[in-house]
Amino acid sequence: MRIYKAKDYADMSRKAANIISAQVIIKPNSVLGLATGSSPIGAYRQLIEWYRKGDVDFRKVTSINLDEYRGLPQSDPQSYSYFMHQYFFDHVNVCPQNIHIPDGMAPDPQEECRRYDTLIQACGGIDLQLLGIGHNGHIGFNEPGEAFEKRTHCVSLSSSTIEANKRFFDNEESVPRQAYTMGMRSIMQAKQILLIVSGEEKAEIVKEAFCGPVTPQVPASALQLHNNVTLVGDQAALSLIPDGGIDE
């Protein structure tokens, strides 16, 4: 595992964007696994800036998003489809037919999960998977549990995840209780994983995930088993990582 310690959120975002842009420059038809939430917004803004300058071209890129709320249409401002268009897709030249996000309005959840797994395989797998980490160690919507979920699945959100996400909705009752998420196998099969994290409130879970045991109670801990993971975090988020505890 490589760790890049950033000064702050802006520096973290630039470092993450550098890694993503390098992937696209080296392989223009890269398959990018993309994430939502507050953590990647700065990286997306930096990528947009470099695109406008002509430094990076997304025309041949395929994007596969990690997750989506169940029950929200793409037009809903709180859907992850809406988020991705607002913060990234509408500002770069990713081809619309190459954008893939779980269908929150699919009538059959099991069929939608099968469709998404088949799609990932048809794309040849993911070249670079971008991730954040939740306060309880979830990645995507892979919540703490008794076993790692391997495939795309429809999950009931934990109370801590609902609490963390309610700031985006009018109230807690408006937060969807279920979501589709890419499974741990698809995530772990990505050729490269980029995890970004910022803020003192994430320091404890970062330490638990990367200095503790591998356990489905902390889903992000599985990343310890991947051979190509880069962790980019600001000083606050990495403050509890002991010196020498992880290869940098």
pLDDT per residue as tens digits for the range 53-103: 999 999 999 999 999 999 999 999 999 999 999 999 999 999 999 999 999
Q: In whole angstroms, how far apart are CA 1 and each of 101, 119, 193? A: 28, 28, 10
Active site includes 227? Answer: no
Number of domains forming the structure of the chain: 1
116-123 contact pairs (CB < 8 A, 24+): 116/152, 116/180, 116/182, 117/151, 117/152, 117/183, 117/186, 119/64, 120/64, 120/152, 120/182, 120/186, 123/31, 123/62, 123/64
Catalytic residue among 138, 149, 153, 234: 138
Report helix, strand or coil for 202: helix
Q: What pLDDT digit, counting tens, does each position of 185-229 carry?
A: 999 999 999 999 999 999 999 999 999 999 999 999 999 999 999
Position 165 scores a pLDDT of 81
CB-hemisphere CA count at 13 Å for 195?
A: 28
Say whether 67 is catalytic.
yes
Is residue 138 among the annotated active site residues? yes
**Catalytic residue (one of 112, 127, 143, 149):** 143
| Domain encompassing residue 207 | 2-234
Is residue 192 in some structural domain? yes
pLDDT at 246 over 80: no
- Is position 245 within any domain? no
Q: What are phi and psi of 128, to 5 degrees?
A: -140, 125
Give me the pLDDT at residue 10, please: 97
Please tell me the predicted confidence (pLDDT) of residue 243.
66
Q: What is the pLDDT of residue 160?
A: 82
What CATH number is given to the structural domain containing 149? 3.40.50.1360
How far does Cα 122 stand from its chain's mean position?
20
Q: What is the pLDDT of residues 92-138, one digit of tens each?
A: 999 999 999 999 999 999 999 999 999 999 999 999 999 999 999 99
